[in-house]
Amino acid sequence: MIKADLTGALSFAGDFAPVLDEAKQTLARLLAGSAGVDGTGWLKLPEQMSAVVPAVMSAAQRICADSQVLVVIGIGGSYLGARAAIDFIQSVHYNALKKNTPDVYFVGNNLSGEHLEQVIALIGNRDFSVNYISKSGSTLEPASAFRVFKKRLTDKYGSKGAASRIYVTTDAEKGKLRALTDREGYTSFVIPDDVGGRYSVLTPVGLLPAAVADIDIAAMLDGARDIMENGQDEAARYAALRQALYRAGRKIELLVGFEPSLVSTGEWWKQLFGESEGKNGLGIFPASAQFTTDLHSLGQYIQDGERTLFETFVSAEVPRGTITVIADEALEDGLAPLAGESFSKLNDAARQGTKQAHIDGGVPVIELRLPSYTAYDFGMLVQFFELSCGVSALMTGVNPFDQPGVEAYKKNLYAILGLQK
């Protein structure tokens, strides 16, 4: 289970007890469906999605059998979770590893022509399939990238062969992709109507790319279920402390991992909290960092800059990697006493030392500790953050499940390009 250690932040948070009470009541309303908001279907995903696992696995097996590459086309909630899962559970170097499963490339998450060309060059002559993920079916970035890869598939395999290699994940009825999917006979998966993009990682949106990357998706769902059964209080405590800190003037939250494998989890987390909370002139600004790397860039500001931020550290009891420091007397750099120590011990020392330094410097630090970095842990972390985010956003007084602000740039972009919105 995830453990939230609040001791490094409580003294910055004013009177915490009433805020915790409020968080518990808000959670109860969210769970009971009486929070006055739509889009809470993600609460049931850990239960419901078990039924979809066999179909997802069979699609993943087909992709693994006939493709050396899976191209995942999607943006925002339609890609961030899958990328986070692969980096967190497998490796940030997943594509470069020798393995029996396809490389997974993410495209359609920007409008860079160069990025598309680079991915096309990386695929080369290899066999590939496409997973086009878009709830609306009309988002410019993935829709324009899909055209490129649909044509490449058709050129390589003919239209029937191409259709058999296109896997669509979209809305059941409403999205603009549904009609095309049915007409062309693409294998397809449903994003439930009451699940918004940033809450959809535990639907086929995240499950199919994860399964292709040899991730145990049933374990991911088990971890998420564990949170629904045993982790609600911990999620409410985290949400409450975020709010207490926000009300005490802390406007920025920095999510910190001590492993490169957590960087893309930070990207997913930023979207989850940013799109859920940042509304009506309110909300904590979500930022992320990787330590110790960023202690050599952002570290000065965190230690000594304006006192408007707080940090949330994410780490695990079971460390990643077993490599140790080598004894080398020729190197007169003062590190000789570390010979034989594991890098994970150094990393843990950095975590403890940084935490204390930042608290001493006036930065509240919340610590979230996972048992390990497995698929089960990832599922727990996802459901934990989603639950906390829903509660925290409701306590901010905004709707956690809409994103009206995203439309503003789209409106201008479409107008500049002469497109109907």
Nearest to ligand PA5 of 42, 128 (CB atom): 42
In whole angstroms, how far apart are CA 182 and each of 155, 186, 386?
Answer: 21, 7, 32
The count of C-alpha atoms lying within 13 angstroms of the C-alpha of 372, restricted to the half-sphere facing its C-beta, is: 9
Neighbour-count burial of 281, counting CB atoms closer than 10 A to its CB (0-12 exposed, 13-18 middle, 19+ buried): exposed
> 96 in the Ramachandran plot: left (φ > 0), alpha (ψ -120 to 50) or beta?
alpha
Under the binding rule (CB under 6 A), the answer on residue 275 touching ligand PA5 is yes
Q: What is the size of the binding site for ligand PA5 (CB under 6 A)?
A: 15
For residue 362, what are the contacts with CB-CB under 8 A and spacing of at least 6?
12, 307
- Among 69, 89, 31, 39, smallest CA distance to 207 is for 89
Shortest distance, CB of residue 391 to ligand PA5, whole angstroms? 18
Name beta bridge partners: 190: 170
Shortest distance, CB of residue 188 to ligand PA5, whole angstroms? 14
Q: Interacting stretch for ligand PA5, rule CB under 6 A, among 41-49, 194-202, 298-306, 330-338?
A: 194-202
What sign has the CA pseudo-torsion 77, 83, 84, 86? positive
Under the binding rule (CB under 6 A), the answer on residue 135 touching ligand PA5 is yes
> Dmax over Cα atoms in the chain, in whole Å?
70
Shortest distance, CB of residue 187 to ligand PA5, whole angstroms? 18
In total, the chain counts a number of residues equal to 421
Q: List the one residue from 60, 75, 245, 298 that touches ligand PA5 (CB under 6 A).
A: 75
Under the binding rule (CB under 6 A), the answer on residue 286 touching ligand PA5 is no
List the structure tokens of 99. 């393995």
Catalytic residue among 22, 267, 275, 367: 275
**Does the bond joining 293 to the residue before it have cis omega, within 30 degrees of 0?**
no
Q: List the one residue from 197, 231, 286, 379 that touches ligand PA5 (CB under 6 A).
A: 197
Q: How far apart are CA 169 and CA 164, in angstroms?
A: 14
Shortest distance, CB of residue 135 to ligand PA5, whole angstroms? 4
410 is an active site residue: yes
Nearest to ligand PA5 of 194, 214 (CB atom): 194
In whole angstroms, how far apart are CA 97 and each of 78, 112, 282, 319?
Answer: 25, 26, 43, 21
Under the binding rule (CB under 6 A), the answer on residue 131 touching ligand PA5 is no
DSSP structural state of residue 15: -
Shortest distance, CB of residue 285 to ligand PA5, whole angstroms? 17
Q: List the one residue from 40, 67, 78, 109 that touches ligand PA5 (CB under 6 A).
A: 78
Q: Interacting stretch for ligand PA5, rule CB under 6 A, among 120-128, 135-143, 146-154, 375-383?
A: 135-143
Q: List the one residue from 196, 209, 231, 364 that touches ligand PA5 (CB under 6 A).
A: 196
Q: Do 333 and 295 contact (CB within 8 A), yes or no?
A: no
Shortest distance, CB of residue 138 to ligand PA5, whole angstroms? 7
Shortest distance, CB of residue 356 to ligand PA5, whole angstroms? 36
Q: Interacting stretch for ligand PA5, rule CB under 6 A, among 87-95, 190-198, 323-331, 356-364?
A: 190-198
Q: Do 327 and 381 contact (CB within 8 A), yes or no?
A: no
Under the binding rule (CB under 6 A), the answer on residue 169 touching ligand PA5 is no
Q: Interacting stretch for ligand PA5, rule CB under 6 A, among 43-51, 136-144, 239-247, 381-389?
A: 136-144
Q: Interacting stretch for ligand PA5, rule CB under 6 A, among 116-124, 128-136, 150-158, 361-369?
A: 128-136
Shortest distance, CB of residue 78 to ligand PA5, whole angstroms? 4
Q: Do 75 and 108 contact (CB within 8 A), yes or no?
A: yes
Strands 365-370 and 3-5: antiparallel
Q: Do 364 and 8 contact (CB within 8 A), yes or no?
A: yes
Catalytic residue among 296, 306, 329, 332: 296
Q: How far apart are CA 183 and CA 171, in angstroms?
A: 15
275 is an active site residue: yes
Binding positions for ligand PA5, rule: CB under 6 A: 75-78, 134-136, 139, 142, 196-198, 275, 403, 406
Residues annotated as catalytic (active site), given as ranges = 275, 296, 410
